[in-house]
Amino acid sequence: MAFETLIDTNPDFASKQRRNIFRTIIVLLAIVFIGRLGYMQIIQGSAYKLESESQAIKQVVVEPFRGDIYDRNGDIIVNNEPSFTLSITKNDFTKESLILLSSILEMDSSEINEALLPYKNVSKFTPIKLFRDLDFQKTALIEEYNDLLPGVEIVVDFKRLYNFYGNMAHLLGYSREVSEVQLKQYPYYKSGDVIGQTGLEKEYEEILRGNKGIKFVTINKLGKKVASFDNGRNDIPSRNGFDMFLTIDKKLQAHAETLLKGKRGALVALNPNNGEILAIASKPDYNPRDFAGKIPSDLFHKLINDPAYPMYNRSIMSAYPPGSTWKMLVALAALQEGIIDINSTVNCRGSIQLGFKNFKCHGAHGTISVRNAIKVSCNVFFYETAMKLGFEKMLKWARIFGFGDKTFVDIPSESKGKFPSEEWLINNFGSFDEIPAGYLANYGIGQGEIAATPIQMALYASAIATKGTIYQPHVVRYIHNNITNKIEPISYDKKEIPIDKKYFDIVQKGMWDVVNSGAGTASSVYIQGIEVCGKTGTAQNPHGRDHSWFICFAPMKNPQIAICVFVENAGFGGVVAAPIARNFLMAYFYPDSYKIISPPSSTFTDPLDSISNQITDKIFPVH
């Protein structure tokens, strides 16, 4: 009614002119909408189609490169190179993908399914790194057929490169895919990640591994990456692992491994003035290069079932009776306790009778002092000295020198060796007074319930060289922090053995006689111009040939190196172990006369030269 009234009272309201204006506005709006629709459908259609297919945002893990490892001279030992890894996401992986992928990889589809079986409990949305170190041809084919392989992706990974001669297997160790047990133990890791399993790769895993990054990408309905999300503004960059600089000289290390070739044993050489290990070798060993990139499925099984135990690090794990190398400890303990002095003598007639057992010597040495007893390795002198010393004092000094405990070298899986505790002796014999004298006599020459590792014996030789200072043995000198771009030295412990220096002088002279007098048990080790102090040892073995030991340090007045050589089932220490030590000493003191093959050295300035004042030694108590 009101509308009709408005028309009736105002005839211009619905005039022809107004109707035309209204129609024009409607037509213009229609043209704009139709034009915009055509632009979006025809001109921008492909772009909108791609965007419409981007169904979700996905987090892609960016793997860091593990830290590099250098020797003491700045020569690179271990670094990385890019490697291609095939990743499968089960949620997107189809039967058609499986057929095409098996053709590209030249594998039966059942092999791929079998490779996926260990990951059956992994989320179907989590990418699984299935095949590592793909060759370029297969990688190119997978990328070419990318659109036909939903759930399949090539990721850039890394593999270790080893730039030296020899193996360094037990020192460096190897990295391998994380196990189910480790996944539960370490939340940082996901299925398919690589973790250090042995050696330095394990001990310094958190330093070497770096931190993963995260890249946010949009994906389409096939699970394929389409574009970076928000131009990467929310991405978290990865951080590569820190580099490590070792105390090892890779040329000496290669030489040590060569000297042990064909034998079962170990060689440990260290600087007695700071505990830096110059070389540490164990044979038999394995090639860590076999664990880089694609690892043969039967490799690990073969190694752990090899009767030569190549995975076993004899330098820090094998413990055997030290034999006559133990005699210096007995001498030092007896001297410090006042049981003997420099002039004390024992009459050696070739053996002593204890109960119903005859304890033999290598010869009848007659009246003999402590210095000469060390020189000729007289058993009778140390039988009698040990019995005067007694069990309690023997135990006390063995513990002070570190036997029966770890040296805490920075290589994992170290053995404590073996030395009977007071509780063990009392439990087995009732009291110290009831222990047969023969046990003490045996302990006096490093036999019985005593077992030491080569690293322990090298440290023991080092303690004699320094006249009582023991530095914690180690193979890592410092870390390069790539965040602060600074060198971070590592401080290590040391301790003092409470024995008067004059007693160390007596023992050192006895060890000097062993090598230099012409009448000692290791005259073959003599090196003109270098005063070598050493001691042979032959460890009795009820199951076969005796084991061969030799420990030494040089030079006598300003020791630079202490060495332990141990060879299983090799017989007399002076015949097998001692010549190996001499050969190594020659390479150390006269490197120009020994052509030790090694890749070219780099120009290197030791950062510790300028920051040595930052390194502080800690004194820890003797127990």
Average pLDDT, the chain: 87
Highest mean pLDDT among 34-48, 293-307, 391-405, 597-611: 391-405
CA–CA gap between residue 510 and residue 500 (Å, rounded): 16
State the pLDDT at residue 46.
63
State the pLDDT at residue 222.
63
Q: Are 193 and 210 in contact (CB under 8 A)?
A: no
State the pLDDT at residue 616.
30
Alpha helices (runs of H) in 10-149, residue ranges in sequence order: 16-38, 45-53, 95-105, 109-116, 136-144
Asked if pLDDT for residue 145 goes beyond 70, the answer is yes
Q: Mean pLDDT, to the nearest integer, of 260-264?
A: 95
Q: Mean pLDDT, to the nearest integer, of 606-610?
A: 44
343-393: pLDDT as tens digits: 999 999 999 999 889 999 989 999 999 999 999 999 999 999 999 999 899
State the pLDDT at residue 549.
97
Residues 6+ apart with CB under 8 A from 403: 329, 417, 419, 450, 452, 456, 460
Percent of the chain scoring above 70 in pLDDT? 89
Could you tell me how far CA 588 lies from the centroid of its own chain? 24
More confident residue, 347 or 7: 347
Q: Mean pLDDT, to the nearest integer, of 526-543?
A: 92
State the pLDDT at residue 4.
52
Asked if pLDDT for residue 603 goes beyond 50, the answer is no
State the pLDDT at residue 54.
45
Percent of the chain scoring above 90 in pLDDT? 61
Q: Are 565 and 580 in contact (CB under 8 A)?
A: yes
Q: Mean pLDDT, to the nearest integer, of 35-47?
A: 70
**What's 58-246's CATH class?**
alpha beta
State the pLDDT at residue 604.
43
* Closest C-alpha to 586, from 248, 259, 314: 259
Query: Please, what is the angle between helix 327-336 and helix 391-400, to 10°?
Result: 110
DSSP line for 403-415: TTS----SSSS--
How is the chain split into domains, by residue range?
A: 58-246, 268-283+316-614
pLDDT-derived band at 207, boundaries 50, 70, 90: very high
CA–CA gap between residue 302 and residue 480 (Å, rounded): 37
Residue with tokens 């006599």: 441
More confident residue, 402 or 616: 402
Asked if pLDDT for residue 106 goes beyond 80, the answer is yes
Residues 6+ apart with CB under 8 A from 291: 160, 174, 175, 176, 299
Six token digits for residue 411: 């290589």
For the chain, report the end-to-end CA distance as a whole number of angstroms: 113
Q: Are 289 and 173 in contact (CB under 8 A)?
A: no
Residue with tokens 């059956």: 120
Query: b vs e for 154-179, b when ≥16 Cβ sit within 10 Å of the residue's Cβ?
Result: bbebbbbebbbbbbbbbbbbbbbbbe
554-577: pLDDT as tens digits: 999 999 999 999 999 988 888 999
What is the layout of strands, in order, in the sheet containing 213-219?
Answer: 56-62, 213-219, 225-228
DSSP line for 287-341: -GGGGSSSPPTTHHHHHHT-TT-TT--TTTS--B--GGGGHHHHHHHHHHTTS--
Asked if the domains at 58-246 and 268-283+316-614 fall in one CATH topology, the answer is no
**What's 268-283+316-614's CATH class?**
alpha beta
Six token digits for residue 107: 């594998």
State the pLDDT at residue 356.
86
DSSP-assigned letter for residue 520:
S
State the pLDDT at residue 14.
59
Asked if pLDDT for residue 105 goes beyond 80, the answer is yes
State the pLDDT at residue 47.
59
State the pLDDT at residue 12.
59
Which region among 132-136, 212-216, 588-592 has the lowest average model confidence (pLDDT)? 212-216
DSSP-assigned letter for residue 124:
T
State the pLDDT at residue 5.
53
State the pLDDT at residue 312.
96
HEC profile of 527-553: ECCECCEEEEEEECCCCCCCEEEEEEE
Asked if pLDDT for residue 605 goes beyond 90, the answer is no
Asked if pLDDT for residue 214 goes beyond 70, the answer is yes
pLDDT-derived band at 465, boundaries 50, 70, 90: very high
State the pLDDT at residue 161.
94
Six token digits for residue 286: 């394995």
Phi and psi based region of residue 485 (left: phi greater than 0; alpha: psi -120 to 50; beta: remaining): left
Asked if pLDDT for residue 504 goes beyond 50, the answer is yes
More confident residue, 511 or 53: 511
CA–CA gap between residue 174 and residue 72 (Å, rounded): 20
Phi and psi based region of residue 199 (left: phi greater than 0; alpha: psi -120 to 50; beta: remaining): left
CA–CA gap between residue 384 and residue 387 (Å, rounded): 5
Asked if pLDDT for residue 618 goes beyond 60, the answer is no
State the pLDDT at residue 608.
44
CA–CA gap between residue 203 and residue 193 (Å, rounded): 17
68-100: pLDDT as tens digits: 999 999 999 999 998 899 999 898 898 998 999
**What's the alpha-carbon Rg for the chain, to the nearest Å?**
36
pLDDT-derived band at 623, boundaries 50, 70, 90: very low
Which region among 149-158, 253-262, 406-415, 450-459 has the lowest average model confidence (pLDDT)? 149-158
More confident residue, 47 or 368: 368
Asked if pLDDT for residue 7 goes beyond 70, the answer is no
Q: Mean pLDDT, to the nearest integer, of 167-182?
A: 93
State the pLDDT at residue 53.
45
